[in-house]
Each structure stands twice: as structure tokens, then as C-alpha cells.
Amino acid sequence: MKYELDELLILVKELSEIYTSKESTSITYERAQQLMDAVLYCIHENEMISDETLTDLIISNHNKKITAREAYDTGYRLVVDKIKKANELYNRIILDFNDYRNRAYHDTVLKGIPEFFKWYDPRLNPMDHIILADYPVLKNVYGLNGIDFIYPYLTCIEKEQKFLLMFPEEYIIEILQHYHSDFEELLINITAIVLKNVLVNMLLGLRVDKTKLDQDDYKKLSGILNNLSAVKLDEIMYLNLRRLINKIYSGDEGMYDYLSNEIANITAELKNASSNNCLANII
């Protein structure tokens, strides 16, 4: 919805009074722009009411023409509600959180996220999520800002932890050590590395928890990859992922959707390595 500038400026003025505690009648241009962005952020939240993460919120007359103030007030409430949901989600995650010795994973989840909750300002600066979140996830959430970034980012972490916690820690550490001797210091996605190992084992008909392939395994894998098109390999990988999710994770559709984001990368990496006779370097 489009709103008149005068409507928005009234909201900016009110935020400026909050910012200055009504002790000043003027603010810098940069601060005014920040407060305008804050207003627009909350209005945008109202326009995103159909987001799947907020299906439990029912806003009456949402499709009717509403004022900028109504849109802003509703959007602000949605931001606050999303903060609460994100906090509850984070508290669940850290109960059994394991960083598998990776520094970026540890620092992002155990240090960075608490800093977000400590300093995030939904009223005056809702578009700033404060932390860098160095640990990369498999879903593209990096064009989002503020709580709209943190909440889906945490849902990704939750899915990864649920996936990883089904495997012994020593199994995951061994896979990571085989991936790179300095895996602790790398900005890597741990789930992607483990998932690739599991799906290759399934492709070869091996136990999913086998950590290292032997010479015969590599020979067999090379033969399979050379005889499959990328499209067919994709199909098999998706099918095996579905089998894995159904067998171990009770058919968790959200986890399947999330892990599916990595299938194309795994397929491309395997095909490329097979073509260049360097499978042992990636698996």
C-alpha cells in the first residue's frame, strides 16, 4: 500500500521524540533517514502478514485500506511478536547445541545471537540485526534485515542441529577432519559436509555412517557418476534424501525442504570431481 509522505513524517516525528526523550526538537538528516527506515520496516511487516511464520496471527480487516499509523502499529506488534518467537526458538536450540569445534558456529550461536537479543531495537532501528552471523546456512536469508533475518536464520540452525544430533559427535568430527585439517577455523556449513558424505554412502549402498571410502568405493563411485547425467544424479539424490528423512526423521518435511537446498551443489561437486579424477579430494 502507498501512503502519503505527511502520514509517514508524523510517525518519524514521534520516533524522533522517543529518540531524543523530547529534549530536542532537531535530529540529523542521517538519524531522520534511519527513523524513516524504521517506520517503513514496520509497515512492510504488516504487508507480510501472510508469511508462514505468522499464520497464528489474525489481523482483522487486513485487506481493507488502512492508514499509515494503523499499518505501522500492526507491523510493530508483529516485529515484537517475532522477537518473542525467535527468543523461544533460540532457547530450544541451545539446550542441546553442539558447535562441533567450529569457531564460527560457536561464536555466531553462543555469542552473536545473545548480543542480538540484548541490543536489538524494534522501535528505533528494527532493520539492524547487529551481528554478522558468520556461520553460513543453506537457505538464502542474507538479503533480509533485522528480526526478518534472525528468525529464519535460527530456523535453519534448528533444522541443522536436529539433523546433526542424530549422528554420533565423533562421526561428524571425523568427517570434518577428513574434509579439512583446520575445519575448526573455516567458515563452512557443517551440515552440507555431513549430508554429502551420507548421500554418497547411500548412492554406493554403504552404511550411512561410514566415514571414509576405500579404493574400491572410489572406483565404484566414479563409475556411477560417469554413467549418470547431472539430472539423473539429482533425481537419485533427492530420492535418497527423502528416504533418509522418512527413515530417521519421521518424514520431517521442513528438514527435507531445507536440506534439498544443498542437493544441486553436491551433484555439481561430485560430477566435477569425477570428471577431473579427484573424488578423494572432496569426499
In-domain check, residue 156: no
- Give the end-to-end CA distance of the chain in Å, rounded to a whole number: 51
Q: Decide: 174 and 193 in contact? Cβ < 8 Å.
A: no
Query: Does the pTM of the predicted model rise above 0.85?
Result: yes
Q: Helix or strand or coil: residue 97? A: coil
In-domain check, residue 34: no
Mean pLDDT along residues 119-140:
96
Per-residue pLDDT tens over the stretch 177-202 = 999 999 999 999 999 999 999 999 99
* pLDDT beyond 60 at 52: no
**Residues 190, 112: Cα–Cα separation, whole Å:** 18
Domain range for 240: 166-283
Q: In the prediction, which pLDDT does 1 show?
A: 58
Domain count, the chain: 1
CA 213 to chain centroid, in Å, comes to: 31
Residue keyed to cell 555469542: 111
CA 24 to chain centroid, in Å, comes to: 41
CA 115 to chain centroid, in Å, comes to: 18
Q: Decide: 47 and 71 in contact? Cβ < 8 Å.
A: yes
pLDDT band, very low/low/confident/very high, at 144 (cuts 50, 70, 90): very high
In-domain check, residue 22: no
Please name the amino acid found at residue 230. A
pLDDT band, very low/low/confident/very high, at 51 (cuts 50, 70, 90): very low
Residue keyed to cell 507491523: 75
Q: In the prediction, which pLDDT does 12 show?
A: 96
In-domain check, residue 195: yes
* pLDDT beyond 90 at 57: no
pLDDT band, very low/low/confident/very high, at 2 (cuts 50, 70, 90): confident
- HSE (CB half, 13 Å, CA atoms) of 189? 21
pLDDT band, very low/low/confident/very high, at 247 (cuts 50, 70, 90): very high
* pLDDT beyond 80 at 123: yes
**Residues 155, 242: Cα–Cα separation, whole Å:** 20
Q: In the prediction, which pLDDT does 49 show?
A: 73
Q: Decide: 160 and 134 in contact? Cβ < 8 Å.
A: no
In-domain check, residue 40: no
Q: In the prediction, which pLDDT does 169 show?
A: 97
Q: Decide: 279 and 218 in contact? Cβ < 8 Å.
A: yes
Mean pLDDT along residues 90-117:
98
In-domain check, residue 271: yes
Q: In the prediction, which pLDDT does 58 show?
A: 45
162: closest CA among 211, 125, 195, 116?
A: 195
**Residues 89, 53: Cα–Cα separation, whole Å:** 12
Pick the residue with more confidence: 26 or 251? 251
